Homo-oligomer: A and B are copies of this chain.
Amino acid sequence: MKHFNSNDMKKMSSRYRAHLINSCTGYKSANLLGTKSLSGCSNLAIFNSVVHIGSSPPMLGFILRPLTVKRHTYKNFKETRFFTVNHVNTKIIEESHKTSAKYEEQISEFTETNLTETYLDDFKAPYVGESTVKLGCRYINEYEIKENGCLMIIGAIEHIYLPNDILHDDGWLQLDKINTMVTNGLDGYALPKLIQRLSYAKPDQLLYSLL
């Protein structure tokens, strides 16, 4: 077994440490965030930090890196208040990863990647046509993490689009039916396969499979 302590981590090159720390906390969700500026330029960027904040009302959160350089996603949803969250799947791994490149503000990642800029139900932010689960979100608030200047962004989920055949009777979505991916660190992409679904856990009760 390998062991790194705080001193070992301090001595690492910044790139080595970035790979290690980004992968040691486990797999993360892989989502494309779509926005559009008031002047009409669309933007698309991959994020691996989307988390569940609450169901009632439906809210999600994600981490934005410090605003030391211009963050187009941030600028756009602050201007318009809207953004979309779109699942990365096996068919768009390279295109999704490519959105992490630092393009100029007036260049749309939709054009550069050939992902399809899609508008649904008059929502102001663009969805990704190739994503089979798409969320329309409204910016609510932000919290600065003062330890390193990152922002935690909170959004309300106002629209959910999904294929009928992944929706179970109890509201649960079976994500391996649509090949939704996860990220492994900064640059790895993995495909999950459902292994188990378990009953609500209570002390002194046996669990049973819901599959």
Contact = CB atoms under 8 A, between A and B. Distances in A.
Interface of A: 1-6, 9, 12, 14-31, 48-61, 63, 85, 87, 90, 93-94, 97-104, 107, 112, 120-121, 133, 135, 140-141, 143, 145-148, 150, 152, 154, 156-164, 167-168, 170-176, 180-182, 184-203, 205, 207, 210
> Within the oligomer, what is the number of copies of this chain?
2
A187 B203 contact: no
A126 to B, nearest CB: 17
A30 B85 CA distance: 21
Given A54-B148, A61-B145, A201 B97 contact: yes
Nearest to A112: B203
Contacts of A173: 19-20, 23-24, 184-185
A209 to B, nearest CB: 9
